[in-house]
Structures are given as structure tokens and as C-alpha cells.
């Protein structure tokens, strides 16, 4: 989907960053307006597969008064990324749009 081109660039950056084996990669991006629909303007959505890192980021946000809410990364959300035309689709539809965007990006990381 050419309307979701930003995540294609991010997945390339994530794949490249893995070569250097960083302790963590933190991406701060709008990615999709779906988080604003879900959370409004009070909190940002935070996706992390690392519980300890997520807690540190949430605490830092509290300290800086830049609040975040941890979003789910359940595997069921990846179902919508299946494609008949490609290895994976980069968008799954409106429902859970921010989560499926994160699930798409998660495919390009090992941790």
C-alpha cells in the first residue's frame, strides 16, 4: 500500500540497525494517525517487545510529562498482514491500524 510508505522506510532502517547489534532501537514517529484516534492527544502509543525497556520509557515519559500508553503486540494482530500477492502486506485495514503497523515493523527485528 503506497499510503503506508513510511513503514517501508522504517523496516529498512530496522533491518540495517540489526547489523550493529544495538542494545535497543527507539523509533519516535507518527507512523499512523490511528493512535491519536485511540488515545487522543493526552498520551502517545508505545510499542515494545521488551518489558523492561517499556517500563523505563513509560517512567521517562512520566518524568518529562510526555505520557505514553503501552499498546498490545498480540500475534493475532499480524493475521491481517497476510497477503496473496506478497510475502507480507504493509497495512491490514482500519481496525487496530497502529497495532498492525507495529506488527509489520516487528517482522524486521529479531528481538
Cα 96 to Cα 85: distance, rounded to the nearest angstrom: 22
Cell of 93: 485495514
Residue 110 pLDDT class (50, 70, 90 cuts): confident
- Global confidence as pTM: 0.86
For 15-30, write each residue's pLDDT tens digit: 999 999 999 999 888 7
The answer, yes or no, to whether residue 52 has pLDDT greater than 80, is yes
Phi, psi of 64 (to 5 degrees): -85, 0
Residue 1 has pLDDT above 70, yes or no: no
Q: Residues 6 or more apart from 108 whose CB is under 8 A from it? A: 11, 12, 14, 15, 18
The grid cell for 67 is 505520557
The three-state (H, E, C) secondary structure of 12-78, written as one string: HHHHHHHCCCCCCCCCCCCCCCHHHHHHCCCCEEECCCCHHHHHHHHHHHHHCCCCEEECCCCHHHH
Asked if residues 89 and 2 have their Cβ atoms less than 8 Å apart, the reply is: no
pLDDT, tens digit (0-9, with 9 covering 90-100), for 63-102: 999 999 999 999 998 888 888 887 877 778 778 888 988 9
Domain map of the chain by residue range?
A: 2-106
Amino acid at each position: 500500500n503506497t499510503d503506508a510508505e513510511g513503514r517501508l522506510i522504517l523496516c529498512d532502517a530496522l533491518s540495517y540497525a540489526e547489523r550493529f547489534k544495538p542494545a535497543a532501537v527507539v523509533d519516535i514517529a507518527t507512523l499512523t494517525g490511528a493512535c491519536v484516534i485511540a488515545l487522543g492527544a493526552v498520551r502517545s502509543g508505545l510499542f515494545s517487545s521488551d518489558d523492561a525497556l517499556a517500563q523505563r520509557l513509560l517512567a521517562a515519559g512520566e518524568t518529562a510529562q510526555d505520557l505514553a500508553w503501552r499498546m498490545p503486540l498480540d500475534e493475532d494482530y499480524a493475521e491481517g498482514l497476510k497477503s496473496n500477492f506478497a510475502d507480507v502486506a504493509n497495512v491490514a485495514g482500519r481496525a487496530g491500524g497502529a497495532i498492525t503497523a507495529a506488527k509489520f515493523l516487528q517482522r524486521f527485528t529479531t528481538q
